[in-house]
Structure 1
Amino acid sequence: MKSYIEKFKGIHPGIILDRELKKRALSQRPFALSIGEHPQTLNAITKGKRNLNTSIALKIERKLGLDEGTLAILQTYFDINEEKKKLPQNTPNLSIIRSSLFWDTDINKIDWIKQSKAVIQRVFERGNELEINEIKHFYGTATINEAMKKIVVEPYTVYSKTEKKNAVL
């Protein structure tokens, strides 16, 4: 059971159930009727549109020969994962962002909210696609658009050798 849970932790149990039914070549409707549930209920669960309650989970586990509590535990892990997504984060996922992007400061001491404009500009200028996506996820489109408006891009100037000597840099 543990490996089954570790493998599918955070995934809606209905999706796992749908996979299991297909693997065993079982149709949803006859299966639902065999456990005494409405086919529409089972369909909503397998689509991930409805949570799997404990009583239905026990019926399914008994019928499929799964360890007792497997689907209920998967539902709990799914619920935990969904709640974590709702919590405000203080920092982006630092395992995705290279500390070398912030060579001039300690990445763990950055105030990600107060210094959002500088962080966004730095990552968009020097970051890779994963880092940019993490910053987009953390700050959201509105904050990024606001920060990017304030970037002043100076065009590069090409000087000839003589102009370069006389140019004030």
Structure 2
Amino acid sequence: MNFQLEKYKGIHPGIILERLLAKKEIAQRPFAISIGEHPQTINAITKGRRNLNTALALKIEAALNLEEGALAFLQTYYEIAQIKKKALRTPNLSNLRKSLFWDTDISKINWDKQYKAIIQRVYERGNELEKKELETFYGPTKIRTALRNTERKPYTIYQNKQKI
């Protein structure tokens, strides 16, 4: 089978595996048993909840007549995409206490999408170092915007010891 890898870069290999099994009309459970794996493992991979290791990728590729290394290649590119996604926009987490975000996993926060809640929380409960980190990361304009529509007032924003 000629497997076109370029168009699938960055996609979890489990999603591709699920599509291939559906296309060949193969159920996950019998497939897992036929290659000597637990059905739960294959299910977790096809749902994107578990990474695909190289040994298992080779077993699956052999069973489905795929090009050797195709799924391992996809797993590598998926991991690269995930690392780039995390590193793209993250403040210096060493300057933020994890206790500020007690109700969530700080490594999974979308710093761009949830900026209003983050800024409000840090300005409500954070110390000066944490506030300065957010000022460096977001800039004073975005911070003013996030704090303008909050019920708890007044928030004072300082930049270089000058009130903004």
- Shorter-chain TM-score range: 0.5 to 0.7
* Residue of structure 2 in register with 1:148 after alignment: 145
1:94-121 deviations in Å (ceiling 9; x for gaps): xxxxxxxxxxxxxxxxxxxxxxxxxxxx
TM-score (norm 1): 0.55
Structure 1 residues not aligned, in runs of 5+: 91-135, 152-169
- Report Cα offsets for 1:37-95 as digits up to 9, x if no partner: 000110000000000000110000001010000000000000000111121449xxxxx
Alignment of 1:3-18 (within 5 A): 4-18=4-18
Aligned residue in 2 for 1:43: 43
Provide the aligned length of Structure 1 versus Structure 2: 106
- Structure 1 residue 150: Cα displacement: 7.4
SS in 1 for 2:4: helix
Q: 1:81 to 1:2 in 2, by over 3 A?
A: farther
Partner Cα separation in structure 2 for residue 72 and residue 149 of structure 1: 43
One-letter amino acid of the counterpart of residue 60, structure 1: I
RMSD: 2.7
Stretches (4+) displaced over 4 A: none
Shift of 1:4: 1.8
Quick one: structure 1 residues 149 and 34, their matched pair in 2 at CA, closer, same or farther if it must change by over 3 Å?
Answer: closer
Q: 1:24 to 1:89 in 2, by over 3 A?
A: same
Give percent identity, aligned residues only: 55
Letter of the structure 2 residue corresponding to residue 146 of structure 1: I
- Asked if 1:32 is matched to 2:32, the reply is yes
Within the alignment, does 1:53 sit opposite 2:53 as a pair? Answer: yes
Per the TM alignment, residue 16 of structure 1 is displaced from its structure 2 partner at its CA by 0.6
- Say which SS state the counterpart of residue 59 (structure 2) adopts: helix
SS of the residue corresponding to residue 79 of structure 1 reads: helix
After superposition, give the CA deviation of every residue in 1:6-28 in whole Å (9 maximum; x if it has no partner).
11100000011001101111000
Per-residue Cα deviation, 1:115-136 (whole angstroms, up to 9, x for no partner): xxxxxxxxxxxxxxxxxxxxx8
For 2:19 and 2:25, the matched residues in 1 are separated by 10
Q: Which runs of 5+ in 2 are unaligned?
A: 91-110, 120-137, 149-164
Q: 1:137: Cα distance to partner?
A: 3.0
Partner SS state of residue 4, structure 1: coil
Separation in 1 of the partners of 2:3 and 2:38? 30
